[in-house]
Amino acid sequence: MSTDTYLNLVNSGVTKKIATQLGLPRPAPLRRYRAGQPLLAGPVLVLGTGADADAVARLLSGTSLDDTGLERGWDLDVRRTAAPGERHAAIVLVLTEVTHPDQLAEPMLAAASVLKGLAPGARIVTISRPAGAEDGPAQAAARQGIDGVLRSLAKELRGGATANGVVVADGVTVTAPSALGALRFFLSTRSAFVDGQLLHVDSEAGALPADWERPLAGRVAVVTGAARGIGASIAKTLARDGATVVAVDVPAAGEQLAAVANAVRGTALQLDVTAEDAGQKILEHATTRHGRLDIVVHNAGITRDKLLANMTPEKWAPVLAVNVAAPLRINEALLESGDFIDAPRIIGLASTSGIAGNRGQTNYAASKGGVIGMVRATAPLLTAFGGTANAVAPGFIETEMTARIPALTRQVARRLNSLQQGGQPVDVAETVAFLASPQAGGILGQTLRVCGQNMVGQ
Ligand code: NAD
């Protein structure tokens, strides 16, 4: 049962009937990831023509992609022509070869013909190329048009269905590890609260995991702010995916921190991330206790909301210090150490407030916009050794932080996205785990929103 009582009411018994008659929003309970669950619970329709569409269809259907045998195919029930009346679990539109907006009609109308019969929690994923200044105008128009279609379609879907896009850079193949990794993430229930987003794949770097259920096996991860909320969920999710986890939080949260560390069979490190030597302390703990450090998740964060007109140094400074200055200093120490070089991953926690702005949160938005800039400029410093830096921008997530928002405001905030509900900490954690994985090695300096396609912002 969700903590969202409205969602529970409109999905059960007599109150469900009343809500339907009144035309009230009916958020669908979202299907979330469980180990051993099939990737899709029904057929997938692959639309689009050309070599890329054929390669994706082959992979999804279970044919080996190459001679290595590593990528065995995903054993899905793949259809290549739209059959209205069929109950599809997913539609994949491979649109990498469009050169004119006229070419969008055929695949989009084919998708349209099966939309009404989609299974609950269905997935629609586009695979396309970025529209650049070097493209001809017609090609750029077609490519940018896909962006518009995708975002609009995501707003039309119901029943917990989502639409997201993988945008593969020119020169990078659609079967690059990160293109396939992103496709699989968007098809899976791991992306339950990610909606209306386009994720760019900029290089062939990265590797497909030997085991999709434990892609982080053998990796050591540090999660800051791990004593509760989203951080605790990130620690659990990374551990579930095979990582050894170091859980970091302030000494005042020591008891809760120990409980999280024990639950994930990891270790606890009591540390204020704003300490001058936090980076050195983190590295020392990870290497002496676990032999290495591969993944850092900068999740520790605070708010001190005030209109800028009433802002004080006491409200401004700590927010910037914890949310962005500490991650900057820690990253610098790790990069200088020479011990963070085996396909390392840095993941920052941004916020939709840092993208769209939020009244009363100038300090917080400065820090979270800061995280977006930080990962964009940090990624190039890591690519030489197969590393990446990316961020996750949560929208409204059900945590102790958001439980303190006044009841009515909270009800409204929950409904202001295409899925008409707040996300769960695990939704943010799943996205962090994906960006930490070997299959995300070609995703460089991006910020992926986990917001149910919040009406605020892009
Ligand atoms: P939370 O307040 O429940 O947990 C934050 C944790 O960080 C706490 O355990 C706290 O002790 C720790 N922390 C704070 N300052 C620290 C410091 N100096 N050193 C070490 N640890 C410190 O918050 P949450 O809701 O779980 O949010 C986690 C992250 O996600 C934050 O960065 C937050 O800004 C971001 N976020 C949350 C939401 C949301 O809806 N909850 C939305 C957008 C972004």
Q: What is the pLDDT of residues 260-304, one digit of tens each?
A: 999 999 999 999 999 999 999 999 999 999 999 999 999 999 999
Contact between 31 and 160 under an 8 Å Cβ cutoff? The reply is yes
Q: Is 396 in the pocket of ligand 1 (CB under 6 A)?
A: yes
Of 4, 222, 228, 230, the residue with max ligand 1 atoms within 8 A of its CB, to mutate for a pocket test, comes to 230
Q: Confirm or reject: Cβ of 354 under 6 Å from ligand 1.
A: no
Q: For the segment 343-352, what is each residue's pLDDT rounded down to a tens digit?
A: 999 999 999 9
Architecture (CATH level 2) of domain 34-201? 3-Layer(aba) Sandwich (3.40)
**Ligand 1 atom closest to residue 322's alpha carbon, by position in its atom list:** 18
Edge-to-edge strand list for the sheet holding 267-270: 267-270, 244-249, 220-224, 295-298, 345-349, 388-394, 447-450
Strand-pair partners of 46: 92
> Which one of 185, 364, 396, 434 is the catalytic residue?
364
**Going residue by residue through the chain (458 aa), what tens digit of pLDDT does each one get?**
567 776 776 677 766 666 666 666 788 999 999 988 999 999 999 999 999 999 999 999 976 555 554 456 788 999 999 998 899 999 999 999 999 999 999 999 999 999 999 999 999 999 999 999 999 999 999 999 999 999 999 999 999 999 999 999 999 999 999 999 999 999 999 999 999 999 999 999 999 999 999 999 999 999 999 999 999 999 999 999 999 999 999 999 999 999 999 999 999 999 999 999 999 999 999 999 999 999 999 999 999 999 999 999 999 999 999 999 999 999 999 999 999 999 999 999 999 999 999 999 999 999 999 999 999 999 999 999 999 999 999 999 999 878 888 888 888 888 899 999 999 999 999 999 999 999 999 999 999 999 999 987 54
C-beta 276 within 6 A of ligand 1? no
Among protein residues, the one with the nearest Cα to ligand 1's atom 1 is: 229
Domains in the chain: boundaries: 1-30, 34-201, 220-450
| Interval between CA 299 and ligand 1 midpoint (Å) | 6
CA of 186 relative to ligand 1 center, distance in Å: 26
Question: What is the pTM for the complete model shown?
Answer: 0.95
How far is ligand 1, taken at its centre, from the CA of residue 168, in Å?
A: 32
Q: Is there a shared CATH topology between the 34-201 domain and the 220-450 domain?
A: yes
Check if 364 is active-site: yes
Asked whether 232 lines ligand 1 (CB < 6 A), one says no
Q: Is 300 in the pocket of ligand 1 (CB under 6 A)?
A: yes
CATH architecture of the domain covering 220-450: 3-Layer(aba) Sandwich (3.40)
From the CB of 344, is ligand 1 less than 6 Å away? no
Instruction: Give distance in angstroms: CA of 415 to centre of ligand 1.
Output: 23
253 close to ligand 1 (CB < 6 Angstrom): yes
**Beta bridge partners of residue 270, listed in sequence order:** 249
